[in-house]
């Protein structure tokens, strides 16, 4: 989902949220020479977008403040503060954006990410669910919702949200920079990885299932009997990779 910083619809990523502002008029043909002169000639929102892509968040905020305070601009300002871990300021801008556009799904999701960063998982879940209602085809928001459930040790709805995210995008768990990173205990991370292994196994993606089973074991998963009896892994147990994985566990 990450796009070139010089293309319209530039998408800024941050663990915990989708952070995709609405498309702006960023020109695709920005000259590559004299970058500072180019910046000076840009409208404020475009200038802020380019500074955001460079990681110059303070300068981006300054540029956005010179722009018309639309919901999109306020959301972008929130993203800039979010990148700097100024969560209170990020929340204020997301909330201002939502005063203008109450059903702005990116801002709702980003506000959820801000509450997630504060470990207010209950509020984050409510916001992620609302964002998902507005963006039902967003694998990232579904995955964020699942991780928030896992952070509250609500494994069944967490797995259901992960299953939905996986159905929308089977690559969603490939270290996506847009996904929420939960401060889980090792035991909960092991259970989370086990659930993801089940999703891959159900889809016939045996190598990925083995990968996440190994992660689960590395995080301290110890229920070997469950692995050997889980119907989801029936075909996986017939592979050499599975035999090798289980042999490795006997050595620990």
What pLDDT shows up at residue 23? 42
User: CA-to-CA distance for 177 and 223, rounded, in angstroms?
Assistant: 30
* pTM beyond 0.85, yes or no: no
Q: Examine residue 112 and state whether it is found in any structural domain, yes or no.
A: yes
Residue 148 lies in a domain: no
Residue 70 lies in a domain: yes
Tokens of 250: 């006997």
Please report whether residue 35 resides in a domain.
yes
**CB distance 123 to 151 below 8 Å:** no
Angle (CA) 181 209 185, round 5°: 35
Q: What angle do CA 130, 131, 132 make, to 5 degrees?
A: 90
Q: What is the pLDDT of residue 185?
A: 78
Q: Which CATH number characterizes residue 70's domain?
A: 1.25.40.10
Per-residue pLDDT, 249: 83
In a domain, 4, yes or no: yes
Residue 210 tokens, joined: 């083995």
* Number of domains the chain contains: 1
Residue 88 lies in a domain: yes
Q: Would 1 be classed as within a structural domain?
A: yes
The first and second tokens of residue 2, run together, are 């990450």
Per-residue pLDDT of the chain (252 residues; tens, 9 = 90+): 333 222 223 344 444 554 555 444 444 445 555 566 677 778 999 999 999 999 999 999 999 999 999 999 999 999 999 999 999 999 999 999 999 999 999 999 999 999 999 999 999 999 999 999 999 999 999 999 999 999 998 989 999 999 999 999 988 887 555 555 556 678 888 888 898 999 999 989 999 999 999 999 998 888 888 999 999 999 999 999 999 999 888 755
Residue 119 Cα to chain centre, angstroms: 16
- Residue 252: predicted pLDDT: 54
List the domain range (segments joined by +) for residue 41.
1-137
Greatest Cα-to-Cα distance within the chain, rounded to the nearest angstrom: 66
Please report, for residues 140, 173, 217, the alpha-carbon distance to residue 105 in angstroms, rounded to integers and kept in the order given.
12, 21, 37
Residue 86: predicted pLDDT: 96
Q: How far does CA 213 lie from the centroid of its chain?
A: 22
CA angle centred on 129, ends 183 and 171, rounded to 5° = 65
Residue 72 within a domain = yes
pLDDT for res 224: 86
Listed in sequence order, the DSSP H helices in 55-120 are 57-65, 71-83, 87-100, 105-117
């Amino acid at each position: 989902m990450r796009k070139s910083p010089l293309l319209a619809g530039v998408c800024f990523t941050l663990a915990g949220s989708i952070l995709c502002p609405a498309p702006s008029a960023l020109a695709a043909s920005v000259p590559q020479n004299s970058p500072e002169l180019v910046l000076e000639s840009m409208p404020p929102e475009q200038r802020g977008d380019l500074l955001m892509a460079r990681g110059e968040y303070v300068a981006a905020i300054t540029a956005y403040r010179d722009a018309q305070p639309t919901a999109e601009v306020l959301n972008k300002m929130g993203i800039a503060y979010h990148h700097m871990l100024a969560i209170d300021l990020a929340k204020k801008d997301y909330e201002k954006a939502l005063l203008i556009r109450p059903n702005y799904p990116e801002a709702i999701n980003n506000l959820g990410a801000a509450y997630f960063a504060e470990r207010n998982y209950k509020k984050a879940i409510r916001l992620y669910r609302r964002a998902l209602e507005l963006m039902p085809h967003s694998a990232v928001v579904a995955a964020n919702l699942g991780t928030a459930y896992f952070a509250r040790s609500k494994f069944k709805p967490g797995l259901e949200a992960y299953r939905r995210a996986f159905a929308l995008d089977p690559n969603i768990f490939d270290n996506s920079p847009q996904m929420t990173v939960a401060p889980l205990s090792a035991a909960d991370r092991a259970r989370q990885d086990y659930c993801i292994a089940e999703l891959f196994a159900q889809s016939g993606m045996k190598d990925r299932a083995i990968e996440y089973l190994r992660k689960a074991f590395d995080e301290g998963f110890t229920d070997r009997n469950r692995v050997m009896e889980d119907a989801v892994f029936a075909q996986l147990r017939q592979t050499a990779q599975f035999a090798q994985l289980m042999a490795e566990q006997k050595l620990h």
